[in-house]
Amino acid sequence: MNALRSKIFAAILLVGAVLCGVAKATDFSWRLFDSQIMTSSIGTASINSGTATYTNWQPLVTVVPQTGQAMQDVRFVVDLDAATTGIASTLTSQTLQFTIARKVDGTNWRYSNNVATSALSGTNSSKQSIELACGLVGPTETVALAVKASSMTGVAVMTVPSAVYYRSQSRATVTLAQ
């Protein structure tokens, strides 16, 4: 009986060693209890003064999970000081506000008033970034980082470098405003 137990234990150790070797040969780390991988999507959104809406929220970065896949730990990060075309470089007294928008029912945007930032002027954005966490996104939801500008006087297009970080079993579709 002890010999059989020893053989079973040795087989389990062998399988474990093989699985560790396979995991090390891949480009990601995978754990049985945590099959969701931290993913990021980095790009540059644009706000065009000709199409900007100054009285309503407009999506800047929109994220749609893959069908049937929820997303966890979703965070948006925005660089407010991009070279010559960013917020700090192009705006002076104009202000921007950011918030998280969700389509919980799949159709209508609902804006979170608890994460909207206070008005942020361009000159106060120098060397700054903003990070908004929206947490869990259900498999049938759409989520966005939305922006409201007071005006864009004298600015044709403002570029906004951004990143989205999240955990999910599959890649979400990330769309940047252009």
Q: Which whole number is the average pLDDT over 73-89?
A: 75
- pLDDT, tens digit (0-9, with 9 covering 90-100), for 123-176: 676 777 788 898 999 988 999 998 887 766 666 677 778 899 999 988 899 988
Where are the domains positioned within the chain? 35-176
List, in order, residues 6 or more apart from 137 with CB less than 8 Å away. 63, 65, 70, 71, 72, 74, 102, 143, 166
Greatest mean pLDDT among 27-31, 77-81, 91-95 lies in 77-81
Helix or strand (DSSP H, E) at 164 = strand 157-168
**pLDDT at 146 (0 to 100):** 87
The pLDDT, as a whole number, for residue 25 is: 43
Average pLDDT over residues 96-108: 86
pLDDT at 87: 66
State pLDDT tens for residues 4-14.
666 676 557 55
Residue 48 phi, psi dihedral angles, 5° rounding:
-100, 125
The more confident residue out of 20 and 143 is 143
List beta partners, residue 99.
146
- DSSP run (H or E) holding 14: helix 2-24
Q: Which two tokens stand for residue 59?
A: 């999506």
| CA–CA dist 131, 139 (Å, integer) | 23
User: Which of the following CATH numbers is that of domain 35-176: 1.10.3470, 2.20.28, 3.30.450, 2.60.120?
Assistant: 2.60.120
pLDDT reported for residue 32? 44
Local confidence band at 104 (pLDDT 50, 70, 90 cut-offs) = confident
